[in-house]
Structure 1
């Protein structure tokens, strides 16, 4: 039986809020505090529940294990504790309770330029950062050319890194961390700094790292990138562990925790306006798009017309619909207040993040518009492992038939 490369046992991290550190403590105060801690331990209390004005548990009683060669996606909402977990695994901060057992060397990339000295050149920082990661000079020298080529900073190698852009910073930092052969590679959302081409390059490198038997832990809000890279997923919610399971199961669980997306506007008694837009998350999880739009008008609209457009993150429209274009099930009638529902079976998109805009009008003009009212993450049921990036092949899923004819003997 193989032993886990990482074992986390009842891990907790507590942060105090709103208290300035005491300037002076006597020896008597220090001894008294230690005695109180010992007494709590003797009566079996691991910790006391803090009040809200004292602080909060960023991580709360986490226990899980990770096997060598796993590619772990750590996912959860903002404030779930993802970055705190990686900082503890990287030994940047100490846990408040529990323990972590790690077999092997950890290389971390949690912030842009971590471990770099701004006054040193790129060349000098490669050696400095490598030493910080525990590498010997000979090991760094052996990998030096590969690091520089991957980071694409040859022209600026002897320039102080304080003159680098954030993209150049992260390219060099990632290249050092990924090429110096750690047993465990820990990557935070920092890759979002790079452009689409570099992000794809990094994902490819992380896949080759894991293929060589090393372990990768990857935090990202890009669910498509997580699905493309990882074979397992850890889901956190408010510092607690929800799941440590198969990647697709983890992604489905994470998406199921998200409340139904809703946009609500203030009432306008003087003009027709959109009151509320709801995106049905249950339909989205099944690969469909269901949008509910509530509207109000001081006079009857003859008939009310609702337009919906889905765009990518760059604002490029991908497709749209209104009753004039697709009128199945639409019953034209005069209404001053009502609700329109658009249902699209089998959403023709690849996995990614998209925006939804809504218009309200009648047969003659538009009265109200809500540009980019909702942003949603779509995980396509047609996901294929190692699928090219959406930035490379485009966001639309267009079914096609292929055939192969052999002309050989």
Structure 2
């Protein structure tokens, strides 16, 4: 007996831009009749690839194009890609929210989906009534739902509001109840989109733990979409990378994240001149990882840059600030933190700063350089910045716990990460 839980076969989805339907009732009926007989859509048009960076020149676009892969039973598959890559469209087709233009999906067992906040909920019905309604849609009996009711309510943490209409729930309460229903009503396949990001940190940890139990303990299949690479690394065993509606890579979750990040890390190096060539000039900067193109918690992160000192400046500031993805300052360091130097002789200098392993938690970071004449003039601008993303090392949970503490404290302290600097010309 095959252990394949889901099989995507030549799945494509085409959308019309700016219009709905074929234009006339007779054509709509012809399209419906062709679909009923299993024939190809007679009005199918050759469309463009779904590339948001380019202006559309036609009336149709392929949100998905020729998707072919299989998911084994008990596997946790992470689906990764930029916004607009086709992730949510693929899950909607699997959940039968919409139908594919071409191809078919073969799935074994009941599918529970959590695609958007409030998916499948009737706003006028209470939380309790929505639990029974969702369970019935999945084919469960009233007795089966009643047996799971207390567990669902406790997990969602909405005991006080379980008999209140869902329309009065906050988005966080709604997604907690929705996930609890999807995860506890014993589906063979659990489909979860980015919607978990709506919940708070405590609920996200509970949800990830529950998905691990569902997949490993109960042998059920999970499809997970998220932009949080740390959660992907922690939860998934395999990954699929979508790009402009097509599968560009499929493999282990670590290799998939590696491929994804190597394509999206932008501005991790610049060679443009920034500053005043007659005074101070910042150029040729880069940020790199000891693990190659992927920045893990356990990686040593190295920041290099060059500065040209063209005239004698009594008091120099040469260093950088580290910011989180939210713009919060985390740490600052300067070339003279570990010595008493206040200035440098004329010349070109290379600076090397090393951020030790297990210093940063998973997330996005920005390095903003600060090259200035103290209290007089700043020679660096917002353009002189680098960005990189850190993912959790799957083999080390200690690193992430330690990093949360460091990130909490680092905005209050002055870090000394200078490894060396030397004159090169």
- CA deviations on 1:164-217 (whole Å, 9 max, x unpaired) are 111111110000000001000000000000111110010000000002100011
- CA deviations on 1:198-248 (whole Å, 9 max, x unpaired) are 100100000000021000111000000000011111111111112221111
Bigger Cα displacement from structure 2, 132-141 vs 300-309: 300-309
Counterpart of 1:228 in 2: which secondary structure?
A: helix
1:255 aligned residue: 261
2:119 aligned residue: 114
**Alignment of 1:344 onto 2:349:** no
**How large is the Cα RMSD of the aligned pairs?**
4.2
Q: TM-score, normalised by structure 2?
A: 0.76
Bigger Cα displacement from structure 2, 200-209 vs 338-347: 338-347
Please give the alpha-carbon distance, in whole angstroms, between the structure 2 residues aligned to 1:192 and 1:293.
36
Contact 2:309 2:346 in 1 (8 A): no
2:9 aligned residue: 9
**Alignment of 1:325 onto 2:337:** yes
Counterpart of 1:60 in 2: which secondary structure?
A: strand
CA shift in 2, pair 1:26/1:371, >3 Å: closer
CA shift in 2, pair 1:182/1:225, >3 Å: same
2:223 aligned residue: 217
Contact 1:228 1:385 in 2 (8 A): no
1:403 aligned residue: none
- CA deviations on 1:25-44 (whole Å, 9 max, x unpaired) are 4479948x96xxx99899xx
1:377 aligned residue: 389
CA shift in 2, pair 1:97/1:21, >3 Å: closer
2:371 aligned residue: 360
Counterpart of 1:5 in 2: which secondary structure?
A: strand
C-alpha displacement of 1:361: 1.8
Contact 1:71 1:229 in 2 (8 A): yes
1:7-46 superposed matches below 5 A: 7-19=7-19, 21=21, 24-26=24-26, 30=30
Question: How many aligned residue pairs are there?
Answer: 387
Bigger Cα displacement from structure 2, 217-226 vs 95-104: 95-104
Q: Which of 167, 173, 176 is the equivalent residue of 2:178?
A: 173
Counterpart of 2:2 in 1: which secondary structure?
A: coil
Please give the alpha-carbon distance, in whole angstroms, between the structure 1 residues aligned to 2:101 and 2:222.
25
C-alpha displacement of 1:259: 4.3
Bigger Cα displacement from structure 2, 157-166 vs 258-267: 258-267
Q: Which of 80, 86, 91 is the equivalent residue of 2:91?
A: 86
1:48 aligned residue: 46
Please give the alpha-carbon distance, in whole angstroms, between the structure 1 residues aligned to 2:58 and 2:253.
37
Q: Can you give the 5+ residue segments of structure 1 that lack an aligned partner in the other structure?
A: 397-409
Please give the alpha-carbon distance, in whole angstroms, between the structure 2 residues aligned to 1:206 and 1:386.
18
Q: Can you give the 5+ residue segments of structure 2 that lack an aligned partner in the other structure?
A: 49-55, 408-425
CA shift in 2, pair 1:52/1:275, >3 Å: farther
CA shift in 2, pair 1:242/1:372, >3 Å: same
Counterpart of 2:63 in 1: which secondary structure?
A: strand
CA shift in 2, pair 1:41/1:180, >3 Å: closer
2:319 aligned residue: 307
